[in-house]
Structure 1
Amino acid sequence: MFICFVRFTPLVLASLISLQVHAAPADDFVLDKVVQVSRHGVRPPTDSAKLAKVTGRAQPRWSVPDGHLTGHGYAAAVEMGRYRGQVLRSAGLLPDGCPSSGQVFVRASPLQRTQATALALLDGLFPGCGLQPSVVQGDKDALFQADKMPFARLDAQRAEDSVLARMGGSVAGAQARYRDAEQQLRNVICAGSAPCSYAEEPWQLTQDEDGRLAIKGLGTQANLGETFRLEYSEGLPLDQVAFGHGRSARQVSQLTALTKAKYDFINDSPYIASRGGSQLMNQIALALGQGTPQAKDDPLGMPPDTRFTLLVAHDTNISYLRTLLGFRWSLGDYLEGNIPPVGSLQFERYKQLSSGRYFLRVAFEAQSLEQIRQLTPLTRAQPPLHADMTGTQGCITASVGVLCPLDAALQRLDQNIDRTALTPYHYP
């Protein structure tokens, strides 16, 4: 297992005390509930025509329409699901074979790539069982698209102030600090292209019709970096990855600096994360409390009480959750906090047999760039990349990872949920 050091964002730091870690016997803890939030798998750009226009260069050909899960992405997600199923079965949470009714619940964001990824994960977790994800009708689900819906709309001035604060008070000043990254991107796009039509533009804060904040200029550069990484992950020929400049996982990751900047400035804003992520975080917290002394009955709606809940979402959702948690990770060749295709935020609840107390383990797990590209079989000897969230006073280190008292963990989650950004939510 790969364990990395993580740091907490300012949102949670104020409530944390120095970490106290004690040894604990492995056989004293039983895994009894898991909520897993997974990003969709590998896809093409969501708007390849726009990227071709911006760069002035032809884009690689993909096997599926823009934004859809690819066959390669499906296979990588199946492998991740197969590995995760082995881990959860060995821990005694999942049965051999197909689960009984009420043991498993799966909800997918309504987009094609998330629905298809949910099917792929289910094929890996429960091969031959024919399980289907639950999906709402329409293109917006309040769990996954809260930031596009009126109930969680941002206050424009407060959102702008929060982003400016993260940018150091000046949009132009922030862009100046990323001149090297912008020049690196320009070199990739313009190399061998004469004349080069790609033009950098001044960054500008904007707000779309849904009320979401964006940084014009940076947004396009961020999409290019993410596209290069997806090209490598898909297994495209190396002369097509980043116009021939993505010959290794490390080279590709270095081209995502502006992708990271976009998330650092916007999604990691505590205010924006609390507006866009509270609906999902509230349902996760409610699920983790079920069947324990911390159980609550929320009049806005309760999640199904199952042993394993899988929510297939987007990197935006996971970025909001990590900000509310104060959880960051550094994995393999990825830049800090990166959320690769099918990367999963895992909430695992354990019961201590000797005391009857409940503990929570929060972890992030993802395949490396090479594992996705090569469709590497995942095993205990060759696992995906993994990071545990370190905790607060009272946390312990067991063979299963870092475990923190459930009551204290849920209190911290509740403190960071904006209850004015919640709406009634019901499951089938």
Structure 2
Amino acid sequence: MAIPVRPAWEWPSVDPTQDTVMFACFVRLTPLLLAGLVSLQTQAAPADGFVLDKVVQVSRHGVRPPTDSAKLAKVTGRGLPNWSVPDGHLTGHGYAAAVEMGRYRGQVLRAAGLLPNGCPAPGEVFVRASPLQRTQATASALLDGLFPGCGLQPSVVQGDKDALFQADKMPFARLDPQRAEDSVLARMGGSVAGAQARYHEAEQQLRKVICGTSGACAYAAEPWQLTQDEDGRLAIKGLNTQANLGETFRLEYSEGLPLDQVAFGHGRSAQQVSQLTALTKAKYDFINDSLYIASRGGSQLMNQISLALKQGTPQAAPDPLGMPPDARFTLLVAHDTNISYLRTLLGFRWTLGDYLEGNIPPVGSLQFERYKQVASGRYFLRVAFEAQSLEQIRQLTPLSMSQPPLHADMAGAEGCVDTNAGVLCPLASALQRLDRNIDRTALTPYHYP
């Protein structure tokens, strides 16, 4: 299936301000694209007797402003930095960082012999983006890096919800309220108040960042409370706002804002900024890492990934709910929520650079790489997570084999082997790990254009 090429007036753009930012981004990209022209010319060769023959990649969108800056300003009682695009939209800086990640990824996949030089042939590559502006624009940026000059654009469903990415907001994957609450409470140690007490130090640190030495500060931590929104999703009132503040500070640093504007002047280094995301991590630990919640919200996406990896192998089997395109390279541009659900279903955790454990930075990518052993014809799977460091995003650092992004392989089990390509596990057993927590009652028919 060819990637749709959409006319310029349909590209993800919302207003003249954003278009100006995107133009500026392309100007800034020039040295990065030139770097790609002189990048390493590695010859495609088997890695320890394994050849890469299929990849499914799930990437988070790039750098954005807060999704509701007015609410955060009201909570803190302080003005937030001005951003160049509307709330929640991909910035020009974020576009540039995503292009660089795509350029590097293209290098790696061409060196492995998976992607051709130049533009891909019809059916070789499939790209689907979540319907939001930031995910569509990130998909375009990654494609600009992967296939410069080819004019490729992602496929996107009509409307604001795609069952692949917004399953947790749709009726077919709705949570049972009591079971969801019990699951979250178990992760909190049985008590919401007790969990909040354990994060007292992090809450105090956040207050110092917002209030400084001011005696009359509008910000006040509120008691955490389990709630359920109109989509049926569970939330922790109080913690949600604190988590959003931590993520906002990290995005400010990633965007390259002046340091006196990052976290109200308290985010002077990548390490300082990461420490301010402790409550962001807590939110994901309590909710997204609940196996029940992840299986409801992530099964639709995991099932499609599993089906794609089985295509062309002895494990291939049709699914009556719909099959993904059989492309050599599939790119799905999603949200950190999606990747956190997949991470939980897999039992895969990572700690990268200055980020806290399990963190999913902008354009962080969960990669499913299928290899074929040349001698035996057997298939193997590598699962890895890869992301630019905070400094690499902030500085728009050109990536290379000598200066790569951060990455971690999912640990293997019996039968897995360490190779130059990473940890490779027999496909059959690896697929069992992918499939074991899929809830088939949380699936719905899904068809691609």
Please state which band the TM-score falls in when normalised by the shorter chain: over 0.9
Q: Distance in 2 between matches of 1:353 and 1:285?
A: 23
User: What is the aligned residue count?
Assistant: 404
Alignment of 1:221-260 (within 5 A): 221-260=242-281
**SS of residue in 2 equivalent to 1:386:** strand
Cα separation, partners in 2 of 1:61 and 1:192, compared to 1, 3 Å: farther
Q: Distance in 1 between matches of 2:47 and 2:72?
A: 51
**SS of residue in 2 equivalent to 1:250:** helix
Q: Distance in 1 between matches of 2:247 and 2:254?
A: 10
Counterpart residue type for residue 164 of structure 1: L
Q: In the alignment, is the contact (CA less than 8 A) between 2:54 and 2:328 conserved in 1?
A: yes
Cα deviation for residue 192 of structure 1 reads 4.6
Structure number with higher relative contact order (C-alpha < 8 Å, ≥ 6 residues apart): 1
| Alignment partner, residue 378 of structure 2 | 357
Q: Distance in 1 between matches of 2:102 and 2:184?
A: 36
The question of 1:295 aligning with 2:324 is answered: no
Q: Distance in 2 between matches of 1:248 and 1:108?
A: 32
| Alignment partner, residue 79 of structure 1 | 100
Q: Distance in 1 between matches of 2:52 and 2:314?
A: 17
Q: Distance in 1 between matches of 2:131 and 2:422?
A: 33
Counterpart residue type for residue 442 of structure 2: A
Cα deviation for residue 392 of structure 1 reads 1.2
The question of 1:59 aligning with 2:80 is answered: yes
Percent identity over the alignment? 89
Q: In the alignment, is the contact (CA less than 8 A) between 2:48 and 2:419 conserved in 1?
A: no
Q: Distance in 1 between matches of 2:77 and 2:286?
A: 28
The question of 1:400 aligning with 2:421 is answered: yes
Q: Distance in 1 between matches of 2:139 and 2:148?
A: 13
Aligned mate of 2:161, from 137, 140, 144: 140
| Alignment partner, residue 286 of structure 2 | 265
Counterpart residue type for residue 206 of structure 2: L
Q: In the alignment, is the contact (CA less than 8 A) between 2:77 and 2:217 conserved in 1?
A: yes
| Alignment partner, residue 216 of structure 1 | 237
Aligned mate of 2:111, from 90, 95, 100: 90
Q: Distance in 1 between matches of 2:381 and 2:234?
A: 33
Q: Distance in 2 between matches of 1:193 and 1:183?
A: 14
| Alignment partner, residue 46 of structure 1 | 67
* 1:349-389 CA-partner distances (Å, limit 9, x unpaired): 00001111000000000000000000000010000001000
Q: Distance in 2 between matches of 1:412 and 1:331?
A: 23
Q: Distance in 2 between matches of 1:230 and 1:194?
A: 28
**SS of residue in 1 equivalent to 2:178:** helix
Cα deviation for residue 273 of structure 1 reads 0.2
* 1:36-72 CA-partner distances (Å, limit 9, x unpaired): 0000000000000000000000010000000000000
Alignment of 1:306-325 (within 5 A): 306-325=327-346
Q: Distance in 2 between matches of 1:230 and 1:412?
A: 33
Q: Distance in 2 between matches of 1:393 and 1:289?
A: 20
| Alignment partner, residue 389 of structure 1 | 410
**SS of residue in 2 equivalent to 1:26:** coil
| Alignment partner, residue 347 of structure 1 | 368
The question of 1:167 aligning with 2:188 is answered: yes
Counterpart residue type for residue 127 of structure 2: V
Cα deviation for residue 82 of structure 1 reads 0.1
* 1:6-65 CA-partner distances (Å, limit 9, x unpaired): xxxxxxxxxxxxxxxxxxx83410000000000000000000000000000001000000
| Alignment partner, residue 47 of structure 2 | 26
Cα deviation for residue 412 of structure 1 reads 2.3
| Alignment partner, residue 12 of structure 1 | none
Q: Distance in 2 between matches of 1:310 and 1:193?
A: 48
**SS of residue in 1 equivalent to 2:260:** helix
Q: Distance in 1 between matches of 2:299 and 2:353?
A: 29
Alignment of 1:100-139 (within 5 A): 100-139=121-160
Aligned-residue CA RMSD in angstroms? 0.7
Cα deviation for residue 194 of structure 1 reads 4.6
Aligned mate of 2:223, from 202, 209, 231: 202
Runs of 4+ with deviation above 6 angstroms? none
Q: Distance in 2 between matches of 1:412 and 1:92?
A: 27
- TM-score if structure 2 supplies the norm length? 0.89
| Alignment partner, residue 390 of structure 2 | 369
| Alignment partner, residue 302 of structure 2 | 281
| Alignment partner, residue 11 of structure 1 | none
Counterpart residue type for residue 174 of structure 1: A
Aligned mate of 1:183, from 185, 193, 204: 204
Q: Distance in 2 between matches of 1:67 and 1:166?
A: 29
